[in-house]
Amino acid sequence: MSATLDAQGELKSLCKALTEAQDTGSKTDQTDLLNKLLAVRVDERLLRTTGAGQVVGRLRNSGDAAIATLAKRVVHKWKKDVMAANPRTGGPAAGASPASRSQTPRSAGHATPQHQQPRAGADSQQGRAGAGAGVGPRPPTGESTATPGGAPTPGSADNSAPGTPLSPSGNGSAPRTAALDGAHVAKTGDSVRDKCVELLYNSMAADSVADADLLARRALDIERIEFEKAKATSPAYRTRIRSLCSNLRDKKNPELRLNVVEGAISAKRFCSMTSEEMASKELRDTIEKMKEENLFKAQGAGREEAVTDQFKCGRCKQRKCSYYQLQTRSADEPMTTFVTCAVCNNRWKFC
């Protein structure tokens, strides 16, 4: 118990210091603290009680690329620790020895492989005599055998049993789901709505270290708002839920998923967001750039373009420019002037 309390105290202390370093903008302190956290071994209970996952998770979107990369390493390593410590997700089962998990004992009456022929003489007679009792011939020397306790005999050729099931990810760790977490999401009394809540939970939980109860509350809140808007489990309701899940699952947009889980974006706000508002910062910047590009390229009907020397190009310093004006904002706002340098083709705009 004292060791657990010491671990909690140490982790809380490191997270508090990391938050202070983030507030002061000290990149050196943030890097040092993240390296210390990378060496800490955690489990699900420890993350729940300290909230360390949320503190480190916020730094994955840091403006400093080195800090963001290091924070992602810490989160990835902690997820592996949690999965390894949880028997439901491929971790070691309580009370089971490695040998008993990797070795499948040969049952009585096991069929002899076709390429292994019974030895002549006493062994063949023993095989025939024991057929009625379900006892097969002894395996040849060097074949892997198992003791009743499941441990392989010394000198066995192979210590792993063929066909041993692996976790879904193939590396001992599987993405979090409501089923693996044992989360209670079936609370609406309607099978369709409960399934939608589970889909929302899975979309948020796949790479999250947040508490299962918190994820369940977020999923239930989002589903309730969408159901109240649709008034029924209609096709439109199901389509909207699938759309929200798709945006939450987007691997290129972890910022949206983190903000929804942590409450920076409320369930009500999330359900009212457009696809463009849900997009990642990189995608929003690309869209804005495309809009500006299209404004310059737009060939409006009857647009007049005049040549003047009243504008000076910031690139080549020449005053030979053409320009035109468009009403890009509301009617009571001034028009936007688009200028193109006739010498170097540099373009800019102003209001």
Q: Residue 153 in contact with residue 145, Cβ under 8 Å?
A: yes
Select from 3.10.150, 1.10.10, 1.10.472, 1.10.3470 the CATH code of 178-279. Answer: 1.10.472
In sequence order, the 6+-apart residues with CB closer than 8 A to the CB of 40 are 7, 10, 11, 14
In sequence order, the 6+-apart residues with CB closer than 8 A to the CB of 165 are none
Phi, psi of 347 (to 5 degrees): -125, 145
Please report which confidence band the pLDDT of residue 200 belongs to, taking 50, 70 and 90 as the band edges. Answer: very high
Question: Residues 297-343: pLDDT tens digits?
Answer: 665 444 556 678 888 898 999 988 988 888 777 777 888 888 999 88
Q: Residue 303 in contact with residue 324, Cβ under 8 Å?
A: yes
pLDDT of residue 79: 84
Q: Please tell me the distance from the alpha carbon of residue 132 to that of residue 134, in angstroms, as a whole number.
A: 6
pLDDT of residue 4: 63
What average pLDDT does range 220-246 have in this prediction?
92
The CATH 1.10.472 domain(s) of the chain lie at 178-279
**Which segments of 206-264 does DSSP mark as H helices, in order?**
212-230, 235-249, 254-262
Q: Please tell me the distance from the alpha carbon of residue 164 to that of residue 166, in angstroms, as a whole number.
A: 7
Q: In what order do the strands lie in the sheet with 347-350?
A: 306-308, 321-326, 336-341, 347-350
pLDDT of residue 208: 83
**In the chain, what percentage of residues exceed pLDDT 90?**
17
Question: Residues 68-111: pLDDT tens digits?
Answer: 888 888 888 888 888 887 665 555 444 444 444 444 444 444 44
Strand partners of residue 197:
none
Q: Please tell me the distance from the alpha carbon of residue 258 to that of residue 71, in angstroms, as a whole number.
A: 14
pLDDT of residue 221: 94
Select from 3.40.50.1820, 3.40.50.2300, 3.40.50.720, 1.20.930.10 the CATH code of 2-89. Answer: 1.20.930.10
C-alpha R_g of the chain? 32
Q: Please tell me the distance from the alpha carbon of residue 178 to that of residue 185, in angstroms, as a whole number.
A: 8
Question: Which CATH number is 298-350 given?
Answer: 2.20.25.10
pTM of the shown model: 0.41
- Average pLDDT of the chain to the nearest whole number: 74
Burial tier of 183 (Cβ tally within 10 Å: 0-12, 13-18, 19+) = buried
Q: Is the pLDDT of residue 166 over 50?
A: no
Burial per residue of 288-300, b for 16 or more beta-carbon CB atoms within 10 angstroms, e otherwise = eeeeeeeeeeeee
Q: Residue 241 in contact with residue 223, Cβ under 8 Å?
A: yes
What average pLDDT does range 188-216 have in this prediction?
89
Nearest to 81 by CA among 132, 55, 45: 45
The CATH 1.20.930.10 domain(s) of the chain lie at 2-89
pLDDT of residue 5: 64
Q: Is the pLDDT of residue 289 over 50?
A: yes
Q: Is the pLDDT of residue 175 over 60?
A: yes
In sequence order, the 6+-apart residues with CB closer than 8 A to the CB of 133 are none
Distances (CA, A) of 154 to 41, 144, 150: 34, 9, 13
Q: Which of 45-54, 124-133, 209-218 has the lowest mean pLDDT?
A: 124-133
pLDDT of residue 87: 60
CA torsion through residues 288, 290, 293, 298, sign: negative
Q: Is the pLDDT of residue 273 over 50?
A: yes
Q: Is the pLDDT of residue 249 over 70?
A: yes
pLDDT of residue 197: 93
The CATH 2.20.25.10 domain(s) of the chain lie at 298-350
